Chain A
């Protein structure tokens, strides 16, 4: 495990595993992101998974949706873990940027993740320039 903040990626089905795998493959940074799934568990178990993964170290919990079981579990964990922050709408751009800014203070890293992730969203149309 490399130094700096850790990222827990909490998402439905196999999404977290796929996103973490892609981020590691692109960046070459391994061990800084932990994938968590909501698969086959109730809400208490899911919250326990988040707590166990977070431990007592500072971490950002990247969640797929701003609602739903993953979001609920993350928010319930946040309530009693002052060392984590929750960022919703996780995308690959967000994770990649996080991997190279893990030395930031926790609140600054969370704010940056939301900003970078939002900036990555946009549409393009065919023809003409970029």
Chain B
């Protein structure tokens, strides 16, 4: 009887190992949905169009003061698209983002979770601010979804977009810059 139990236990363990191996193989056959998904940039209709830029941007966003064109990306630690955008921002590089006049606002339940998000995606060098409870972006700019990009031109909020990848947003920012110049 004891022998039967021993054999049964070993068979169950081997079956679990086989199951994990099969699941690993199936997972490796799935397309990478993040990478394969095309980038989208959808204009938002519900936001506070025309609000003036703050006299002074909060926190590390202050490097965007006195810029003719600024872009704020609103991210949340709980959305998977935000995680992908954050990873893309880290890969793109803080210097290049700052050159584009781009900053990040992390809208989160607590300052701690926002700081963890910044640390997790190595965004410490990017101009950023933590918005506890999302109060600032909701009240000042009427932002209700993330990830969201807020484009400020000539001192006012001129457009807002929902997006899922950095590239289309970057192209839009650069197009606007060319049109203006």
Q: Report if A and B associate in a common complex.
A: no
Q: Taking beta carbons and an 8 Å cutoff, which residues of A are in contact with B?
A: none
